[in-house]
Amino acid sequence: MHENNSKLVEESFKKYYFDHFDLIHVPERPSQREFGYQKFNSGMTRHLTIKNDKELHLMIIQNSPSDVYCSNGYYSFPNLPMAEKDWQEADLIFDIDAKDLNLPCRIDHSFKKCTNCNKIFQNNSICPSCQSTKHESKSLPCMSCIDGAKKEVKKLKQILIEDFGIDKESIHVYFSGNEGFHVYVYNTQFQKLGSRERAELVDYIMFKGAIPEKFGMKRFNPERSVFPSFDEKGWRGRVSKQIFGAKSKRSKMITEIINNGYQSYANQLEQIAPIIGANIDPNVTMDIHRIFRLPGSLNSKSGFTKILCKDLKNFNPYNDACFIDDSSIEVLASTPVSFKIKNKKFGPYVEKKVSVPKYAAVYII
C-alpha cells in the first residue's frame, strides 16, 4: 500500500477504535483463548492472552492494528506455541463468502490490476497500458452478492436446527466485514469435535457424497416405495422437494429415474448438492486452531466492521457495518465499477481526483 494511503487508513482505523470501543468486547472465557493482531504493512502477532475488555482496548490503542483476531479454540495455555497450548475444545464456526458462490453478477463488478504497471482495467486479459498479461483480479461485492450469501446462511441455520437439534439461540450470525458471514455455534455438544469429525459434519451440511441407496435407488431391482416423500425430515425430504418439484409429479419422476438408471441418479444427486446444501468453506470449519476476526473489529479489506446481524433479512452492510466517519477527503481514484455506501453512489472513476467521505476513501484504498 502507498505510504499516504496507509497513513490515511491507519488514522481512520485508530479513530474508529477510539470512538467505538462499545462495539468491541472479549468473547466468553477469554483467558482460555488465543488473541492476535496484524499491523499495517507488517506481519502477524499472535499467541497472546487477554483477560478482559480493558486489556483488549489497551492492546488496540497501543498497536493501532489493521486486523484483530481471536481463536475459536479454548486452551490450557493459549500464550504458548501451538504444540504446547493443550487444546480443550472449540466453538463451531462456518464461513460463507459471496466470492465462492459463482453468482452471475460477479462479472459486472470485477476488474483487473496490472502487476507490472498498476493499471486498472476491465474486460481485457492484456493490460492496455503495458501489454502485460500478469494481473490481479479484483471485485467489489454488490447487494446481490450479499443476498446470495444470506440465502446460504438461511440454509445452514435450517440444517443446524432441524437436523442437529441446535437451539437457534446458540447460533449467532456475524457480517464478516467484507463479502459474507461467519456463523458461530456456541455451547453445544459439538464443542469437543476434532478436525476429522468436523470434516464429516461439513460433508453432511454441504450434501457431499450422497449415496443413491439412501434416496430410494437400488443398483438392481429398484422399488418405487422407498423413494423419499415430501413429508420426510432431513435430506430425504429436501431431495424429494428439489427433484420432484411437486407431489403430483413424484410418481412420473420416479419412473424416469428408474428408467435412466443408477448412475444417472447419482449424478443428479451430485448436481443438486450446491442447491440444497449450504455453501460453506470446509477448511474454516475443520480448523480447530484458527484465529478469527474479532467481532466489533474492522476488516482491513474494506474498512467495514465485523458485526452481529440481529435482523439478517434487512441487514445492509453498506449502511449497518460502516462506522468510519464521513469527513471529506480528496483521493486519486481508479475504480472502473460503481459502488454504494450509506445510500450514496460512488464511481466509476478512471484515475480521477475526487472528494469523497472518508469511509468511501478507505473503501477505495
> Which residues are designated catalytic?
95, 97, 281
Cell 479489506 appears where?
301
Cell 443398483 appears where?
219
**Helix segments in 261-333, DSSP class H:** 262-276, 282-286, 317-320
Cell 438392481 appears where?
220
| Cβ 291 vs Cβ 70: under 8 Å | yes
Q: How far is CA 12 from CA 305, 323, 340, 365, in A?
A: 13, 10, 19, 12
Q: How many CB atoms neighbour CB 232 within 10 A?
A: 13
Q: What's the start-to-end Cα distance of the chain, in Å?
A: 8
d(CA 57, CA 26): 10
Q: Which helix (H) or strand (E) holds 113?
A: strand 110-114
Phi, psi of 155 (to 5 degrees): -65, -45
> For the chain, how many residues are written?
365
Instruction: Give 182's DSSP letter.
Output: E
The three three-digit cell numbers of residue 189, written as one number = 455438544
Q: How many CB atoms neighbour CB 112 within 10 A?
A: 20
Q: Please name the amino acid found at residue 141.
A: P
Q: What angle (nearest 5°) sits at the alpha carbon of residue 344, between those of residues 339 and 346?
A: 40
